[in-house]
Amino acid sequence: MKAHVHAMLIAVAAFGASPSLAHGSTQPKHGGIVSLSGETLFELVTAPTGVQLYVVDDDDPVDAAKMTAQLSLDTAGKTQNVVLAPAAGNRFDGPALQLKSGDKVGVLVIDKASQAHLGTTFAIK
């Protein structure tokens, strides 16, 4: 019995400590680029019609309607700040942006009720 419990504890410790099991997939689900900050996954999607930001916190999609979001684009030392509008589900929408290699994009999402801040930075390659 002790050997069975010991084997089970080893298995739980081995799998419980695995970083691949701590979060869902970090692969882009919308064709964008992904950044993980703590327990929060951000996916930035650029298209000719506009930019989209998807946010998943602790494996649960956030409710964009209950949050505010902004994006800061740093291109060669010049910063452009853009307010993103809540859209369907966990998506925020903004205007079309021309992102180039070397640009840095910072995003900040704030929960309206708790004022909790979630954010990350994308380095465009």
Residue 16 lies in a domain: no
Residue 99 lies in a domain: yes
Residue 90 lies in a domain: yes
Confidence of residue 5 (pLDDT cuts 50, 70, 90): very low
Instruction: Kindly report the three-state secondary structure assignment for every residue of the chain.
Output: CHHHHHHHHHHHHHHHCCHHHHCCCCCCCCCCEEEEECCEEEEEEEECCEEEEEEEECCEECCHHHEEEEEEEEECCEEEEEEEEECCCCEEEECCCCCCCCCEEEEEEEECCCCCEEEEEEECC
Q: Give the tens place of pLDDT for each residue, 44-95.
A: 999 999 999 999 999 999 999 999 999 999 999 999 999 999 999 999 999 9
Residue 35, domain CATH: 2.60.40
Residue 96 lies in a domain: yes
Its domain, for residue 29, covers 24-123
Q: Give the tens place of pLDDT for each residue, 95-106.
A: 999 899 999 999
The count of structural domains within the chain is 1
